[in-house]
Amino acid sequence: MSVTAFEVPPKPATATSDVAQTSQTSAQAEPHVDEARLHALVQADAQVGIQNYGRLAVGFKRGRGARLWDHAGKEYLDFLGGIAVVTVGHCHPAVTEAITRQAETLVHTSNIFYIEAQVELAQKLHQLSGGMRAFFCNSGAEANEAALKIARKYFHGRNMRGDAQRADIITASDSFHGRTYAALAATGQPKYHEGFAPMPQGFKYVPLNDIEALRGAIDENTAAILLEPIQGESGVKPADDKYLQDVRALCDKYGLLLIFDEVQCGVGRTGKFFGWEHSGVRPDILTLAKGLGNGVPIGAMLASEEVAKNFVPGTHGSTFGGNFLSCAAALATLQVLEDEDLMARAERVGAYFKAKLEAWGRETGLIDHVRGRGLMIGAVLTRPIARELMKASLERGLIFNAVGTDVLRFLPPYCISEADVDEAMQKLEAARQSLEDAPSE
C-alpha cells in the first residue's frame, strides 16, 4: 500500500466534524464554516477589497499535505492545490524549513547583485531543460510577458534576413496566458478582452489541434507560436503529440519561434517535469510559474541559447524576480520532487484517479470522458451540473473546481495517495447523490 508523502498532524481540538463523519452523514452535514467569523470576513472584504473575484464562502486557516482546515476546523481533501500551485503538499516541512532559514538570513537585495540561490535554481532548470537559460519573475503572466518580449526582440533588427517586421504571435483559441496586457492579448478567449480595449496588437488565434488552420495563419509577419501543451484554465484540453510535432516542423520550416506556456502543466504535474516531454517536442522558449515555489510566488522564462542572447542589460528586468526567498522555496520544492519521487507518483496516482473517474462515469452516466495527464485531470460531464457538483463536494470536504457548466478540474498536490483518491470518489458520489435527491425547482 502506498503511503502519503508526509504525516498529516492530528486535527485541532476545535474540529467540529471529521472526514468520515462528513462523508457518512452528508445529508445532514454541519455548516462547514464558523458562520459568524466567515460573515465578518465577507463583510470586511466587501468594504475594503476590490471585488474582482467571485469567491466561495469558505476560508482556510491551516494546511498540511493534501489537507486543509477551515475557520471552524473542518477538514478538506484538497484536489485543487491552489489551482496547480501546491505541488509537493501544503507546508511541506522541507520547503517550510528552507523558507524559514532563508527568511532568517536574507530575503531581498536586488538583481543589481548576484543571488546565490537564483544561480543555483537556474543551474537546476538548465539541467532539467537540456540547456535553456533562465530569467526569473513572480507570476505566470510575467513569465509570458518576458517570453513575448524576447520573441519579438529576437526578430528585431534582423533586416539582413528580411525579418524586421516579424512581430505577430499566433496562439490557440481557448488558451489562457494571464491577465497583464500582452498575456491577455495572447489569451484566445474574447470574454477576457472585453472592456479593456485597445488591446496590444499582433496576436492571432487558431483552433487547437488543427494544423491546417495554423499553417493558414502563418505569414511573413509571424514571429512565434505560443501554446499550452495542455490547456488548463479552459478545462484541461491536451494538444495532441502529433500536432505539437507538426507545429515544431512548421516553426523550423518558416524560422518561427515555438513558445510553450507550462505555467500550469509544468513542474512535474503530468508525470514528467515539462509537459512537452510527452511529445518530445522542444520549445525555443518556455514559461513556468504556479508549481515552482509550492505557493511562494515565482515565475521563470526559459530560453534556448540562441534566443536568450537577445536579452542584454537594460532590455528586461524585475525588482523581486528571483529573490533569495522565492528561489530558496523553489530549490527546496524541486529537491522534494526528486527525493520523494513525486513525478512518478503523480503519474501513478493520476492514472488510478482517471480510471476511478471513468468507472464512476460508467456507473452513473454522468461522465462523457476524462482527459489530461498525471495529476492534471478534467472530467467532462454529460449534464451541465459542474458548479453544483463542485459546491456539493466542497460541503462534503472535497475541493476541486468547475470550468464552465460541464467540466470538473482536478489539480491536487502530488503527495496524494490511492486512498485519498478513494476518499475523494466517495465524497464525489455523496455529492452527486445529494443533487439527485434534491427537490427540483
- Residues of this chain that bind ligand PLP (CB under 6 A): 139-141, 144, 176-178, 228, 232-233, 261, 263-264, 289
For 160, 178, 181, 189, the CA distances from 192, given in Å and listed in that order, are: 38, 10, 11, 6
| Least distance in angstroms from the C-beta of 417 to ligand PLP | 26
To the nearest whole angstrom, how small is the minimum distance from the Cβ of residue 175 to ligand PLP? 8
Q: Which is nearer to ligand PLP, 26 or 129 (CB)?
A: 129
Give 57's DSSP letter.
Answer: S
Cβ distance 323 to 115 under 8 Å? yes
Residues 6+ apart with CB under 8 A from 389: 381, 402, 408, 428, 431, 432, 435
Residue corresponding to grid cell 477576457:
192
Catalytic residue among 176, 353, 400, 410: 176
Query: Rounded to the nearest whole angstrom, what is the least distance from the CB of residue 120 to ligand PLP in the complex?
Result: 23
The amino acid that residue 115 corresponds to is I
Report d(CA 258, CA 272) in Å as an integer.
Answer: 20
Contact yes or no for 402/387 (Cβ under 8 A): yes
Cell of 294: 509550492
Between residues 22 and 264, which has the closer beta carbon with respect to ligand PLP? 264
Smaller CB separation from ligand PLP, 141 or 244: 141
Q: Which residue is nearest to ligand PLP (CB)?
A: 140
Shortest separation between residue 140's beta carbon and ligand PLP, angstroms: 2
Greatest C-alpha distance within the chain: 73
Kindly state the smallest distance separating residue 158's Cβ from ligand PLP, in Å: 28
Between 145 and 284, whose beta carbon lies closer to ligand PLP?
145
Output 140 or 412, the one with its CB closest to ligand PLP: 140
Of 34, 70, 168, 261, catalytic: 261
Q: How far is the CB of 137 from ligand PLP (least distance, A)?
A: 10
Rg of the Cα atoms in the chain: 22
Q: What angle is formed at CA 298 by the lines to CA 296 and CA 302, rounded to 5 degrees?
A: 150
Distance from first CA to last CA of the chain, Å, rounded? Answer: 45
Measured from the CB atom, the residue of 142 and 168 that comes closer to ligand PLP is 142
Does 176 qualify as catalytic in the annotation? Answer: yes
Residue 203 annotated to the active site: no
Active site residue 274: no
| Given 290, 400, 406, 420, the catalytic residue | 290
Neighbours of 217 (CB within 10 A): 15
Helix residue ranges, H only, 85-240: 93-105, 116-129, 140-155, 181-186, 190-193, 211-217
Amino acid at 168: D
Catalytic residues: 176, 261, 290
